Amino acid sequence: MLEKLRNIGIIAHVDAGKTTTTERILYFGGSKHKAGDVDDGNTTTDYDPLEKAKGITINSAAVSLEWKDFQYTLIDTPGHVDFTAEVERSLRVLDGAIGVFCAVGGVEVQSETVWYQANRHNVPRLAFVNKLDRMGADFYGCLDQMRDKLGITAAVCTIPAGQSDQFEGVIDLIRMKFWKQDPTDTTNMNYTWEPIPAAYVADAATWREKLLDAASHGCDELLTAILEGTHVTEEMIRHALRVGTLNGKLTPVHCGSSKLYNGVRLLLDAVSDYLPSPADRPAVPGTHPKTKEKLERKPLDSEPFSALAFKTVSEKHGDLVFLRIYSGVLRPGEFILNPVVKKQERISHIYRLFGDRRDRLESVGAGEIVAVVGMKYTFTGHTLCSDEQPIALEEIRFPEPVISQAIIPAKNVDETRLAEALGKMVRDDPTLKTRTDVETNQLIISGMGELHLEVSLHKLQRDHGVQVTAGRPMVAYRQTLAKAVEFETRYIKQSGGRGKYAVIKMKYEPLSKEMIEQLHLELEEEEEKPDPNNIYFYDEIFGGSVPKEYIPSVEQGFRLACVKGAKYGFPLVDVRASLIDGKSHDVDSSADTFKLAAIESFRDAQTMAGLVILEPIMNVVVLAPSSYQGTLAGDINRRRGNILNLSSDKGRCMLHAYIPLAELFGYTSDLRNATSGTASFSMEPSHYAAVKEELADIRKAS
C-alpha cells in the first residue's frame, strides 16, 4: 500500500554519524545480520573503495528495508560540501528526511546548508541528535543552536538520561518511560520499558510540557484537550506531531547514540509515525512537452506513467539510472518516452537497491525509488513518461563549479578514450565540467572543491583506466608593449623566378586606460563596436606609397601577430598600429608578401619596445563572521590583493577586493580551513593589470 511507503534521506554535516545511523537502521530493519562500522570500512552505503579509504560518504546510496509493516527506501547522502549535488538530487525525489546532528559539534556549517536545501524542496524532517555518549556532548545546547540557526519549532520527543560518560539511555516523553537496553545482550536487540530514573523525573516533566506545547501547534484537538484539562493520549500526541510535521510547523527531535544502538528504534518508529508517505505529498507538477500546458500527476498506479531520473551511474554492462516513480506502473520490456530528447527508451531490468546489491523486480508502482538498466539517452534530471500522455517534470538545478585544475594525460593515453570517459563522468555528475582552454591548450576540469576534483580524477583512473595527473591551470596572461616604437621593415627575398618585395614603415604604441576610453567614445559616435582586445590599426598612407589593395593584408598580418606573442605565447592587447609609409614592386609585391612583412614587423616591435605582462584580476567578495575580519584582510594582502571596501554588520563582515587570479588557486580550501568552514566567497573577472615577470607564471604557451 502506498500509505506504507517511506522514501527518506539522511542529511547532515560530515562526521555527524549519518552512515552509522543508516547501518543501525538497516540492522534493526532486518536487512543485515551484522551492522557495519565506518572505521572498519564495511558499511552498506559506503561501498566505494575510496569511501572506505577516506571514511566519508561520497556518493548518495539507496537501500531498502522493512520496519514492522512499512517499506522504507533510505538514501544516505554525503556530508562534505564538495558533494552537495548528491544531496540536492536526493532531496528532489524524497518525501521526508532525517537531519542528524552531532551532540558535541552542534549545528555545523554543512548541517545548515543541507537543512535549507530541504526547506527549498519543502521536505518534512525529523531531527536526531547523535553521539550523546561522546565527551563534551550537550543535547540542550544543540537544541538551542537548532532553534537559532535553523529557525525550527522543536518538538522534543526524547531526552537523554545522562550525557558523555554518564549516558544511560533515552527517555520517551510520549510514553513517559525510560528505554533501558540490556547491557548483556551482544545483539543489542533486547530492551525493557522502565520507570524514569529519579534523577531525571523533574527534567522529563518539564520537557513533556514543552512537547505538548509544540505539538499543539499542529492539531486543534490536542490544543483543546490541553486547555480543558482532559486526558491527553499517546495517539493524540502522535497525530498532532504528524500533522505539524507534514505542514512544516514543527520538527520532532529524537536523540541517542547510533554507535551504541541507542535511540535508533524510536527514530524508526518516528519515521513511520510522522514523515509522509508518497500519498501525503502533493501531485507533482509538469507541463506538456509540446503545448506547454500545465499538468500534474497524482501518486496513483492508475495515473499515466511519469518518473524523474535523478542519478546515473556508468557501468560496464549498461548504465544504471535511478528513478523516482511519481505515477503509473513500470515493467521490464516496456517502451517509455523521454520528452527532453524526444526519444523512446526500453527498460531491460528494474532493481530495488541495497547498497551495491540488487534485487530484480517484475513491476514497480507510484511512489517507489528504483534503478533501471537499458536506457541510452536519459541523463540526470530527465523526465520519463507515457508516450500517449506525455509530461515534462521540472529538471534538477545544480550549482555551478567553483574550482578548476588542469588534467595532464599520460603519453600513451588514447584521446578518444579519455573524451568518452570524461563524457560519462560529466553526465553522471552534473557539477563536474570539462573544457579545453583555447589559449593554453590545457584540458581543464572544474568542480565544487579540491576534494571533489581529487575524487573525480581517482575515478577517471580507477573506473575508466585512463592515466592522468593533476596540474595547476596556466593563467591566461596577456601582453602589451612597454613603449612606443617607429621603424621600417624591408621584406625582400629573391630566390629565382618571382621574388617577394614589401617595405612598410610602422608606428606601434601601447594604449593607456585613458586612450582606450577615448577610442571607445569615438567608436561609439561612429556606431562601431570596440575591439575586445583593444587592437587597432590605422592607415596613414599618403600618395599611394603602398597600393590600397595591400593595406588590408598589412592589418591582417598585424592582427595575426597579436594572437601569440613573440617572447611568450600570450596574446597581445591594448596596442595601436599605424602604417605611415612603404614601398612596393610592380612584379614582386603581393598581398601575401605584405602580410608576412607585417608579421615580421610586429615581432621586431615587441623586441625593440619591450613587453609588459598583464595578469587577470578578479573581483572578489568574501562573507564571514566578523571575528575573522583581520585574518581574511591579512590573507588578501598576502595574495597581492587590493581591498576596495570592508564592512561589518550583525556579526558578519564583507570584504570586497581585487585579487590576481594566479593567487586564488586553492583559495576555496584555504578559506574553509581559516574560518572553520563558516566563510563563503564569490569571484568574477574584472580587468587586466601589469605584473612583474618574476611574479608571473610565464611558462611559455605552446
* pLDDT digit string, tens, across residues 291-326: 999 999 999 999 999 999 988 887 766 788 989 999
Per-residue model confidence (pLDDT) at position 435 = 86
Count other Cβ atoms within 10 Å, centred on residue 206. 12
CA atoms within 13 A on the CB side of 28: 23
DSSP symbol at 19: H
Query: To which H or E segment does residue 50 belong?
Result: helix 49-54
- CATH-assigned architecture of domain 405-471: 2-Layer Sandwich (3.30)
Burial (CB count within 10 angstroms: exposed 0-12, middle 13-18, buried 19+), residue 540: exposed
Strands (E), 458-563: 468-471, 478-481, 485-493, 500-510, 535-539
- What gap in Å lies between CA 273 and CA 6, rounded to an integer? 10
Average confidence score pLDDT of the chain: 86
Burial (CB count within 10 angstroms: exposed 0-12, middle 13-18, buried 19+), residue 493: exposed
* Torsion sign over Cα 446, 447, 452, 456: negative
439: pLDDT strictly greater than 70: no
- What gap in Å lies between CA 419 and CA 217, rounded to an integer? 56
Residue found by looking up cell 598589412 in the block: 554
- What gap in Å lies between CA 470 and CA 403, rounded to an integer? 13
CB 132 within 8 A of CB 43: no
The pairing of strands 575-583 and 535-539 is: parallel
- What gap in Å lies between CA 235 and CA 273, rounded to an integer? 10
Per-residue model confidence (pLDDT) at position 474 = 67
Give bridge partners of residue 4 from the DSSP assignment. Answer: none
Q: What are phi and psi of 81, to 5 degrees?
A: -60, -30
262: cell is 541507542
Per-residue model confidence (pLDDT) at position 51 = 43
Per-residue model confidence (pLDDT) at position 356 = 65
- What gap in Å lies between CA 512 and CA 516, rounded to an integer? 6
CA atoms within 13 A on the CB side of 33: 0
For the chain, the domains span 2-280, 284-393, 405-471, 479-609, 613-695
Per-residue pLDDT tens over the stretch 43-80:
444 444 554 454 444 455 678 888 999 999 988 776 55
- What gap in Å lies between CA 121 and CA 208, rounded to an integer? 31
Helix (H, G, I), strand (E, B) or coil at 606: helix
Per-residue model confidence (pLDDT) at position 56 = 46
Give the CATH superfamily of 2-280: P-loop containing nucleotide triphosphate hydrolases (3.40.50.300)
Most confident range (mean pLDDT) of 579-588, 661-670, 672-681, 689-698 is 579-588
Q: Cα–Cα–Cα angle for 278, 283, 286, nearest 5°?
A: 130
Q: Output the pTM of the full model.
A: 0.67
- What gap in Å lies between CA 32 and CA 42, rounded to an integer? 12
Rounded to an integer, the average pLDDT of 165-172 is 95
Helix (H, G, I), strand (E, B) or coil at 182: coil
Per-residue model confidence (pLDDT) at position 700 = 43
Per-residue model confidence (pLDDT) at position 79 = 53
Query: To which H or E segment does residue 581 belong?
Result: strand 575-583
The pairing of strands 652-660 and 611-625 is: antiparallel
Distances (CA, A) of 210 to 155, 159, 203, 261, 490: 8, 12, 11, 26, 93
Q: What does the DSSP assignment read for 360-412?
A: EES-B-TT-EEEEE--SS--TT-EEE-SSS--EEPPPP-PPP-EEEEEEE-TT
Residue found by looking up cell 548528491 in the block: 86
CB 126 within 8 A of CB 74: no
Give bridge partners of residue 624 from the DSSP assignment. Answer: 653
Rounded to an integer, the average pLDDT of 107-131 is 88
CA atoms within 13 A on the CB side of 416: 0
Q: Could you tell me what percent of the chain has a pLDDT over 90?
A: 49
* 578 vs 427: which has the higher pLDDT: 578
Distances (CA, A) of 70 to 65, 172, 527: 9, 22, 71
Q: Tell me the pLDDT band of 32, cut-offs 50, 70 and 90.
A: very low
By mean pLDDT, which of 172-176, 238-242, 432-436, 580-584 is the weakest?
A: 432-436
H-helix segments, 564-638: 591-609, 629-638
CB 43 within 8 A of CB 17: no
- What gap in Å lies between CA 672 and CA 81, rounded to an integer? 10
Give bridge partners of residue 70 from the DSSP assignment. Answer: 67
Q: What is the CATH number of domain 613-695?
A: 3.30.70.240
Residue found by looking up cell 532493481 in the block: 351
89: cell is 538530487
Burial (CB count within 10 angstroms: exposed 0-12, middle 13-18, buried 19+), residue 226: middle
Give bridge partners of residue 354 from the DSSP assignment. Answer: 357
The pairing of strands 96-102 and 392-393 is: unpaired
CA 217 to chain centre: 36
161: pLDDT strictly greater than 90: yes
Give bridge partners of residue 502 from the DSSP assignment. Answer: 491
- What gap in Å lies between CA 655 and CA 509, rounded to an integer? 37
* 394 vs 79: which has the higher pLDDT: 394
699: pLDDT strictly greater than 70: no
Q: What does the DSSP assignment read for 116-179?
A: HHHHHTT--EEEEEE-TTSTT--HHHHHHHHHHHH---EEE-EEEES-GGG--EEEETTTTEEE
Same fold, 2-280 and 405-471: no
CA atoms within 13 A on the CB side of 250: 25
Per-residue model confidence (pLDDT) at position 146 = 94
Per-residue model confidence (pLDDT) at position 36 = 47
Residue found by looking up cell 536487512 in the block: 31
Helix (H, G, I), strand (E, B) or coil at 67: strand
CB 115 within 8 A of CB 11: yes
Q: Could you tell me what percent of the chain has a pLDDT over 70?
A: 91
Count other Cβ atoms within 10 Å, centred on residue 559. 19
Domain at 284-393, CATH class = mainly beta
Domain at 479-609, CATH class = alpha beta
Residue found by looking up cell 537502521 in the block: 25
Per-residue pLDDT tens over the stretch 351-365:
987 756 788 999 999
